[in-house]
Amino acid sequence: MAFEGKEIWFAVGSQDLYGPEALREVAQQSKDIVDTLNKSDDLPIKITLKPTLKDSDSIKNFMIDASSRPEVLGVICWMHTFSPAKMWIRGLRELRKPLLQLSTQHHFEIPWDSIDMDFMNLNQSAHGDREFGYILSRMGIRRKIVFGHYTDPEVARQIGVWERACAGWDAANNMKVMRWGDNMRNVAVTEGDKVMAEEVFGTAINTWTSTELEQWVNKVKKEDVEAVIEEYKKLYDVDPVLLNEKYDSLYYAAQEEVGMKNMLDHYGCDAMVDNFEDLAGLKQLPGVAAQHLVQLGYGFSAEGDWKTSMLVRIGQVMGEGLPGGASLMEDYSYNFVSGREMDMGSHMLEVSPALGSAEKPRLEIHPLGIGGKADPVRVVFTAKEKKNVPMIIFTDQGDRFRFTMQMVDLDHPDGSLKVLPTARAIFKPRPDLHTAVKCWLLAGGAHHTCMTTNVGREEWEDFCRIAGVELNTIDENTTFDSWVQRLRTNDMYFHTTNIPSVA
Ligand code: MN
């Protein structure tokens, strides 16, 4: 329920120079625009029109108000007329919410035969939006710019995408990640600076012992476990063996889920990591428990990888209400057959059916070679085909965070995969496997990623702009040479201080 009770505030800039009659028209036209946008199905969060801003003090008060209210996720500014931008400076210094600069106007067509000085004077957002753009860029304020007539569905679509990114940013700033155990021994990429993460994203990442989790698992109520098993039966095709001779294993897997959820909720956490090397007295490495909790909206990643867990939670929030979802993914195996060059992603257990499955996901039990615990119960499926799906890795480069995004086309396997007892996704990276992998490796992209079939690249681009974090995307237009150049430029840019980062 990430969008419930949330608002986006709509600020209209003008000034007193035009007189009360003109300002009445400004207010009426602003209302038309907001009402029209709010009718679009593409906007998950309602836009609230605020009174027209005409002077420096009211602008400052507006920005302080918007910044301090938890229900306000972002601010849209549109200059109906000419709103001299020195009036905006003191307010913009106070703004701590994501900003969208909407450049639009009320009339669709220039009224060629009737336009006079009065009309031109009143309807001059082409003029006002430029003055506003100047002060934002001069002050180094990052924002999404949307341009077009407000009745164009593309305008609503872009605003809707940004609203989702605002919700993702809000989720990051309120996120608490529960770590059961530390990072997997000797693994580099899943490490990272948790202090910097809290500074950049507002996310608190802390540790609880696996022994405490074991206690939570041991004290669950029988009826809660049975309710979760009923939920599994609805969502998954449960192997009959789990309902008969292996029922105890199924019961314990569901018991783990209830214990994990109770402990997360008790401490107000909405994302988690575990580590198969540190399970205390838990009998199984959580499989279906982690997979299903992601379907419920929690973030999850394995092996102590809190950064990917954050991405999964953010992805689930941004994509609320959309088909598909977010999941941990891990590159495993290439297919070099000509014309079918692909990559297969999977994990030992925990890829979430939130992604969407080609068939009804199956709930199965199989041995697991590592970890030395009982056979874990897991959901097995192949992610369903979809074009242009983002796969994101969040790395700590030592001096800064970097997001690397790979656009892929989810494809089908060229065989049965009948003896692979784990969830997987088969994908063709853009622009092609060879270019994509070389670019990925050069960016320091490693094996754990977050795949999102609910939201696309634009939500992540908006999110990274809001966060002020480096993002590089491998897509159909990427060449290896352009990629080298981009990484070099970014290394220079992010090592140089005092550059206003408006882009
Ligand atoms: Mn892994």
Q: Which of 292, 326, 296 is nearest to 312 (CA)?
A: 326
pLDDT in the model for residue 358 = 87
CB atoms within 10 A of CB 496: 8
The domain defined by 7-173 folds into Rossmann fold (3.40.50)
Tell me, in angstroms, the distance from the centre of ligand 1 to residue 327's CA.
12
Tell me, in angstroms, the distance from the centre of ligand 1 to residue 208's CA.
20
Could you give the CA distance from residue 445 to residue 140 in angstroms, rounded to a whole number? 29
Q: Could you tell me the mean pLDDT of each successive run of 10 residues in the chain, 503 residues long?
A: 94 93 95 98 98 97 98 97 95 98 97 96 94 96 97 98 98 98 96 96 98 98 98 98 98 98 98 97 97 98 98 98 98 97 96 96 94 94 98 95 97 97 98 98 96 98 96 98 96 70 57
DSSP string, 401-428: EEEEEEEEEEE--SS--TT--S-EEEEE
Tell me, in angstroms, the distance from the centre of ligand 1 to residue 291's CA.
14
pLDDT in the model for residue 372 = 85
Nearby residues for ligand 1 (ion, Cβ within 5 Å): 303, 330
Tokens 């913009």 identify what position?
Answer: 92
Could you give the CA distance from residue 192 to residue 167 in angstroms, rounded to a whole number? 24
Tell me, in angstroms, the distance from the centre of ligand 1 to residue 303's CA.
6
Beta-carbon-side half-sphere exposure of residue 488 (alpha carbons within 13 Å): 6
Tell me, in angstroms, the distance from the centre of ligand 1 to residue 32's CA.
51
Tell me, in angstroms, the distance from the centre of ligand 1 to residue 347's CA.
6
Is residue 263 helix, strand or coil?
A: helix
Could you give the CA distance from residue 368 to residue 130 in angstroms, rounded to a whole number? 61
Tell me, in angstroms, the distance from the centre of ligand 1 to residue 133's CA.
44
- List every span in the chain annotated with CATH 3.40.50.10940: 7-173
Tell me, in angstroms, the distance from the centre of ligand 1 to residue 500's CA.
37
Tell me, in angstroms, the distance from the centre of ligand 1 to residue 330's CA.
6
Q: Cα 200 to chain center, whole Å?
A: 15
pLDDT in the model for residue 320 = 97
Is residue 272 helix, strand or coil?
A: strand
